[in-house]
Amino acid sequence: MNKIINMDLDGTLADFYGVENWLDDLENSNVRPYAIAKPLLNMVTLEKVLNRLKNKGYIINIISWLSKTSTPDFDKAVVKTKKEWLKRYLPNVKFDNIHIVPYGTPKHDISSGILFDDEKRNRDNWGAGAYDVDNILEVLEGLL
């Protein structure tokens, strides 16, 4: 079995789309939505489960897209802000890889294993082992 877990951020772990005026902010190169998005899960529980999985030999990755409206400077700011979000909400998880890639990059080209992603297109392209956001903790606990 391929012991790799890949997690999206926006709309999967972070309530990015729940941030008021998120699209306007992105169109104006403002990282505010990435910085203030609230977690969609109990992050203390998620952190514990991810660390238990790491202790069982799982690789834990983040695969997240940059904004559709992109410039090199904005991309750098987005990467920095997303990493800060992870440190704030999952401070004790040592991710094996944090891939923050151009918008639309096929996630199945970056890794294999399991993917948690809110976007159906990404799950469909991933194939077997792709999960939506409804039961993340239950699926992860099932791997233990």
pLDDT tens digits, residue range 2-23?
A: 799 999 999 999 999 999 999 9
| pTM of the model as a whole | 0.94
Q: What's the CA angle centered on 31, arms 29 and 37, to 5 degrees?
A: 145
- Judge whether 70 and 102 are in contact, CB under 8 Å: yes
Domains of the chain by residue range? 4-143
Q: In the predicted model, what is the mean pLDDT of residues 116-129?
A: 95
Q: In the predicted model, what is the mean pLDDT of residues 42-67?
A: 97
CATH code for the part of the protein at 4-143: 3.40.50.1000
Q: What's the CA angle centered on 110, arms 132 and 54, to 5 degrees?
A: 70
